[in-house]
Structure 1
Amino acid sequence: MNYPIPDSPQDIVALQQRPVDEELVASAIAGVIKIVRAQGQSLEELTAQVLADDQMLDKQQRRWLSKLLAQAWENFS
């Protein structure tokens, strides 16, 4: 992978400066999971945050993202 897994929210924000590709997205997802776990949060808490209504993603996109995060959570070690 061309991008290291982010260790902090600041590292994830810094990814915005990079061109978007599948490796960048995978790195961002792995970073979110790593950070959430380090904070002692559960997959259920992360899912609730993703599914919360926001202006960036519609309901269908939020459900798709929550499923993707759940799969990544199970595969991330």
Structure 2
Amino acid sequence: MNYPIPDSPQEIVALRQKPIDEEMVAAAIAGVIKIVRAQGQSLEDLTAQVLADDSLLDLQQRRWLSQVVAQAWENFS
């Protein structure tokens, strides 16, 4: 993978400076999972955050992303 897994929210934000590709998205998701776990949060906590209404993604996209995050969570167990 060309992108290391981020260890902090600042490193995730820094990914915005990189071209968007599948590896960058995977690194960002892995970084979020790593940070959430380090904060003692659960998959359910993270899923609730992903599914929360926002102006960036519609409901269908948030549901799809929550499934991707859940699969990644299980793979990193």
Distance 2:25 2:45 in 1: 21
Give the match for residue 15 of structure 1.
15
CA RMSD, 1 decimal: 0.6
Distance 1:45 1:51 in 2: 10
With normalisation by structure 2, the TM-score equals 0.98
SS of aligned partner of 2:69: helix
Report sequence identity in percent.
83
Structure 1 segments of 4+ aligned residues over 2 angstroms from their partners: none
Give the match for residue 61 of structure 1.
61
Give the match for residue 24 of structure 1.
24
Deviation track 1:16-48 (CA, whole Å, cap 9, x = no partner) reads: 000001100000000000000000000000000
Distance 1:57 1:3 in 2: 24
Gaps of 5+ in 1: none
1:3 alignment partner AA: Y
How far apart are 1:13 and its partner, in Å? Answer: 0.1
SS of aligned partner of 2:74: helix
SS of aligned partner of 2:19: coil
SS of aligned partner of 2:57: coil
1:9 alignment partner AA: P
